[in-house]
Amino acid sequence: MSRLAVVVFNLGGPDSLKSVKPFLFNLFNDPAIIGLPTIPRWLIAKVVSARRAPIARAIYEKIGGRSPLVEQTETQMTALKTALDRRGIAGEVGVFMAMRYWHPMTRAAVDRVKAFRPDTVILLPLYPQYSTSTSGSSLNTWVRTAQARGLSAETHTICCYPTETGFVAALADLTKAGVEQARPHGPPRVLFSAHGLPKANIEKGDPYQSQVEMTAAAIVETMGIPDLDWVVCYQSRVGPLEWIGPDTDSEIERAGRDGVPVVVVPLAFVSEHSETLVELDLEYGELAEERGVPAYVRVPTVQAHDTFIDGLADLVTRAMTAEAGDGCLIEAGPAGGRLCSQVGARVCGGEWSMCPHVPDQNSDKQGQ
């Protein structure tokens, strides 16, 4: 009987206040986050994690002293397995979790998958939009660890799905409800808020910002609300570098000056965590009140929304069955398998050199 292992990836989060500092160290010690040689990066990570730990602990104290990300990911895993089982995939299906910066981390996940003895492994980041600092870092770590631990099963990778139908439909459904909630206070402005990146990353060819914009445009099109007022913005700036914009807090202040209600949509997060429960709900909610925003509505993340989970199951099924003619790269993905986006081939424009897909004749599928 064949065995399929699906591995979902996310950032991870501290499971106690004591783990906040080592979690931050792991984050800042990642070469995908601070691109310096090992020793200076390690030193900077030690200093930055020590300085930021008290601030971060105060944040996590507001949400029960720990991140809810693991529990929410477990719920998504259960729902995904159910959706895959409904599709009648032959053999046994196991769904596993690999967190990047805190437990359960990549090595433990590799060992669990190896013990499962899969014939095929599908790597599925829970980051709809590809960035070298999120999906790229997680997938590269998996490849190195799997090779070191002797996991040699055929492995296929889903690199991104910024406009996947189920994901977009789920967010459109949630956003529409948020717009209706805000509408009694006036025509609302929708702020599609994503985690920011330093401008330098984008200038080097990281496709993240372009894929975030694809997601927002697809949600607006799916909602079908005439003359909707909307903007893409970015949150969670850290450090002195120039970051992509506009900033979410600046857009909230602008809405206050314009006297319009705000609907905030976290479109790059699929689960709740400190940046939604504290930054969006508490900090930006207080800012909106201070700036006179008539109403502040925060749309929930997709979590285990039925259409989102069905979309993930569709991605897994396509990655298993795709052939070269479907646009998936053969022997090019991590561990030498298929590398598939939501359309099989490259969704990014040719200017985004850090897209894991090489530029090819399928580039005109961007945004599908």
| Residue of 127, 125, 104 lying closest to 7 (CA atoms) | 125
Question: Is the torsion defined by CA of 288, 291, 293, 294 positive or negative?
Answer: positive
- Which residues are part of a known binding site? 195, 275
Hunting for tokens 């529990």 — which residue is that? Answer: 71
Beta strands (DSSP E) in the chain are 3-10, 92-99, 120-125, 154-158, 189-195, 229-235, 262-266, 296-298, 329-330, 338-340
- Which residues are part of a known binding site for Fe(2+)? 195, 275
CB atoms within 10 A of CB 90: 8
Q: Are 365 and 178 in contact (CB under 8 A)?
A: no
**Within 13 A of 150's CA, how many CA atoms are on the CB side?**
2
Coil, helix or strand at residue 270: coil
312, two tokens: 């993930």
Which amino acid makes up residue 223? Answer: M
State the DSSP string of 45-105. HHHHHHHHHHHHHHHHHTTTSS-SHHHHHHHHHHHHHHHHHHTT-SSEEEEEEEESSSSSB
Q: Are 105 and 12 in contact (CB under 8 A)?
A: yes
